[in-house]
Amino acid sequence: MLAAGVHGGEEARLGLESNSQARRWWREGKSLGLAAFLVISVPATSVKRVVMMRNR
């Protein structure tokens, strides 16, 4: 029982460490993700407009 508790604590500690790393990645990645989203979405909307213009 005690060994299982120690093992669980170790897992929880590792989980917290990876979670904080994930948060750091998320904070750094948010600006990159936003930039990528804009780069992807802006050409897509302009392509849609061109296609709509052609369809008329």
Q: What is the pLDDT of residues 1-56, one digit of tens each?
A: 455 555 566 666 666 667 787 788 777 878 888 888 878 888 888 888 888 888 87
pTM: 0.34
Name the residue ranges covered by the structural domains of the chain.
6-55
Residue 50 exposure: Cα atoms within 13 Å on the Cβ side: 6
CA 53 to CA 11: how far, in whole Å? 57
- C-alpha–C-alpha distance, residues 46 and 42, integer Å: 6
* Whole-number Cα distances in Å, 5 to 13, 16, 17, 32, 53: 12, 16, 18, 40, 65
Q: What is the CA radius of gyration of the chain?
A: 23
